[in-house]
Amino acid sequence: MRLATWNVNSIRARVDRIVDFAVREHIDVLAMQEIKCKTEQFPFAAFEEAGYHVEAHGFSQWNGVAIASREPISDVRTAFPDMPGFAKGHEGPDAPQEARALGATVGGVEVWSLYVPNGRALGDPHYDYKLHWLKALEEYTRSALAANPELPLALVGDFNIAPTDADNGDPSVVAGFSTHVSPLERDAFAAIEAAGVQDVVRPLVPTGFTYWDYKQLRFPRNQGLRIDFIMGSQALADGVTGAAIHREERKGDGPSDHVPVVVDLDLEPVDDDDRPMFW
């Protein structure tokens, strides 16, 4: 299975480019974030004509997530347990949920397309929302893997966190003063790792950014951030045979400000008892 994640920054603005990438790179499962449309506005036909099943979850021109797969998609969920919501001027546990998570089972893998809240600014209510959201994701990850330690679990998407200083090449993002690099956000990312998942791309692609702001020539200057990840349980990590960050997708006409992150998986079980016996 070739699994990819991509913050597409408006699916309707880039559908031809995205489908072309998926077909050209033989992507089996593509998790998308920031589709920026209602579910019924998603360009399903373009993906279906290319041989993909699609599930999408979106409410408006903001946020939104989707999964396209060459294999059937089952067990679709639009939130993980206790995922908090957010609305301006609306605080408390009953705040409406945003379209930031889509979970499904594809080829035996539990895949979550995740668009973690941005946080906006330290001290902003959206920053607290981000931390609560990450805490709920940590708790779900821990409980899911406690219930099934052999589960191939993939948490993929735009985490809006640069977990290490090496993941931050943007001079406007300053540790201690900016979201994405604050100690609490990095601690939250580490807590999700401690719950049982790991960055399955970094061992094969140790350096490289996945996002560059459109302003200030950030891309040609390579002043980016590594904030898009494929986090996998041990069962998933054991099957990784290749990985790539497709930097070239930031070039050309009308690119997203993010690029795809891809892993190759070989999750075929090997059972000695199933081998033929000879006498």
What is the chain's pLDDT, residue by residue, as a tens digit (279 residues)?
999 999 999 999 999 999 999 999 999 999 999 999 999 999 999 999 999 999 999 998 999 999 999 999 999 999 999 999 998 777 667 899 999 999 999 999 999 999 999 999 999 999 999 999 999 999 999 999 999 999 999 999 999 999 999 999 999 999 989 999 999 999 999 999 999 999 999 999 999 999 999 999 999 999 999 999 999 999 999 999 999 999 999 999 999 999 999 999 999 764 444 433 322
Residue 250 is encoded by which pair of tokens? 């930031």
What are the binding residues? 7, 34, 158, 160, 257-258
Name the amino acid, one letter, at 277: M
Q: CA-CA distance, 50 to 52, in Å (whole number)? A: 6
Per the annotation, the verdict on 82 as an active-site residue is no
Superfamily of domain 2-265, CATH level 4? Endonuclease/exonuclease/phosphatase (3.60.10.10)
- What 3-state class would DSSP assign to 11? helix
Q: CA-CA distance, 94 to 2, in Å (whole number)? A: 38
**pLDDT of 269:** 62
Helical (H) or strand (E) element with 152: none
Compute how many other C-beta atoms are within 10 angstroms of the C-beta atom of residue 48.
Answer: 12
Q: In terms of C-beta density within 10 A (0-12 exposed, 13-18 middle, 19 or more buried), how is residue 138 classed?
A: buried
Residue 9 per-residue DSSP state = S
Compute how many other C-beta atoms are within 10 angstroms of the C-beta atom of residue 55.
Answer: 22
List the catalytic residue out of 28, 158, 167, 199.
158
Residue 45 is encoded by which pair of tokens? 């036909």
Per the annotation, the verdict on 158 as an active-site residue is yes
Residue 37 is encoded by which pair of tokens? 């449309």
List the catalytic residue out of 28, 52, 115, 180.
115
pTM, whole model, 2 decimals?
Answer: 0.95
Strand ordering across the sheet containing 74-77: 74-77, 101-106, 109-115, 153-158, 228-233, 197-199
SS (H, E, C) 30-59: EEEECCCCCHHHCCHHHHHHCCCEEEEECC
Say how far residue 71 (Cα) sits from the centre of its chain.
19
Helical (H) or strand (E) element with 8: none
What are the binding residues for Mg(2+)? 7, 34, 158, 160, 257-258
Half-sphere exposure of 163 (CA within 13 A, CB side): 17
Name the amino acid, one letter, at 44: F
**pLDDT of 199:** 98
List the catalytic residue out of 53, 57, 132, 258.
258
Residue 273 per-residue DSSP state = G
Strands 53-57, 153-158: parallel, antiparallel or unpaired by DSSP?
Answer: unpaired
Per the annotation, the verdict on 258 as an active-site residue is yes
